[in-house]
Amino acid sequence: MNTTIIDGKSTAERVRNELRTAIEDLKQAGHTPGLAVVLVGEDPASRVYVNSKVKACEELGIYSQKWALPAQTSQEELLRLIDQLNRDERIHGILVQSPPPPHIDEAAVVLSIDPRKDVDGFHPVNVAKLVLEDSSGFVPCTPLGCMELLKQYGVSTQGKHAVIIGRSMIVGKPMAHLLMSKAANATVTIAHSRTHDLAGLCRTADILVAAVGRPGLVTAPFIKPGAVVLDVGINRVEDASRPRGYRIVGDVEFDSVAPLCSAITPVPGGVGPMTIAMLMANTVKACRQITARG
């Protein structure tokens, strides 16, 4: 099989280049898009993600605020900060990095964010808008990035069978809605930890999305020859040969799976870079929508 390796890095760069024009237009009209990124606690992976998000803003000329709060920050303090950001006219997007420390009620935090500034697409108003196919809502960045990759690589979803492994609110569920939408018209199956004969089910997929966080779960017997495989997993596995002592792998065993596919995303360099690019796109969209309403 002649396998296309889907390049998330260059596709993300293409998305960013399109955003540069949109941001310039907004600035000409007197509006600078602004994003607030909030991190509670010291989780090292979360800190890396948050810094990457702020850096992406700087590179595009998006105004950003980074709030790194100590792990013992109370729920009340966090809600007060969100209230302040909801009212800050320089800020069009608010993101609280997940997962927060265990004493924080994440659902209450998400509910406190103004849905018009919820660039993560986690607020129930935006979840409903996704289900209703109301394009004014915000869609979570990772599934949005997956759809953009399919589009940029000319992968038709029309009438195809898409199997998604994983039912999270961040990836699996929104991805299912995007793929079954009237724009994409795929037939969607969501698999999860209780699914019987996972490999057999996945082998019926024209498009397979792996989003469970289990390194190397998807192996050759899961693949229908010619399938398109999107690997959303970002897993740290110990590797003494690396200076950091670990390496990043996906949910797909790339070396055995890739030769069977018509196209596949690698890890790293596939879906990952798209997530931040789509966050930037959502921030620009929020700015446009908020400022148009005055």
User: Active-site residues: which are they?
Assistant: 53, 97, 120
CB-nearer residue toward ligand GUN: 95 or 264: 95
CB-nearer residue toward ligand GUN: 48 or 199: 48
Q: State the minimum distance, in angstroms, from the CB of residue 79 to ligand GUN.
A: 16
Binding ligand GUN by CB under 6 A: which of 32, 98, 181, 195? Answer: 98
C-alpha distances in Å from residue 213, one per residue of 28, 42, 43, 172, 185: 43, 21, 17, 12, 27
Using CB under 6 A, count the residues that bind ligand GUN.
Answer: 8
**Stretch touching ligand GUN by CB under 6 A, among 6-14, 96-104, 191-199, 261-269:** 96-104
282 lies in the binding site for ligand GUN (CB under 6 A): no
Binding ligand GUN by CB under 6 A: which of 40, 95, 258, 264? Answer: 95
Q: State the minimum distance, in angstroms, from the CB of residue 95 to ligand GUN.
A: 5
CB-nearer residue toward ligand GUN: 169 or 201: 169
Binding ligand GUN by CB under 6 A: which of 11, 73, 97, 283? Answer: 97
CB-nearer residue toward ligand GUN: 26 or 96: 96
Q: Is the peptide bond preceding residue 266 cis, with omega within 30 degrees of 0? A: no
Kindly report the number of other CB atoms within 10 A of residue 289's CB atom.
14
| Residue among 267, 181, 148 nearest 217 (CA) | 267
Q: State the minimum distance, in angstroms, from the CB of residue 170 to ligand GUN.
A: 6
Q: State the minimum distance, in angstroms, from the CB of residue 22 to ligand GUN.
A: 21
DSSP per residue, 62-117 = -EEEEEEE-TT--HHHHHHHHHHHHH-TT--EEEE-SSPPTTS-HHHHHHHS-GGG
C-alpha distances in Å from residue 205, one per residue of 160, 200, 228: 8, 9, 9
Residues of span 164-193 touching ligand GUN by CB under 6 A = 170
Question: What is the number of residues in the chain?
Answer: 294
Instruction: Please report the sign of the dihedral spanned by the C-alpha atoms of residue 268, residue 274, residue 279, residue 283.
Output: positive
120 lies in the binding site for ligand GUN (CB under 6 A): yes
Q: State the minimum distance, in angstroms, from the CB of residue 140 to ligand GUN.
A: 6
217 lies in the binding site for ligand GUN (CB under 6 A): no
C-alpha distances in Å from residue 142, one per residue of 138, 209, 240, 276: 12, 12, 30, 8
Position with the least CB separation from ligand GUN = 98
| Residue among 119, 126, 121, 114 nearest 86 (CA) | 114
Binding ligand GUN by CB under 6 A: which of 26, 56, 60, 141? Answer: 141
Q: State the minimum distance, in angstroms, from the CB of residue 21 to ligand GUN.
A: 25
List the structure tokens of 16. 């960013």
Strand pairing class (207-210; 187-191): unpaired
Q: How far apart are CA 168 and CA 155, in angstroms?
A: 24
Q: Which residues bind ligand GUN (CB under 6 A)?
A: 95-98, 120, 141-142, 170
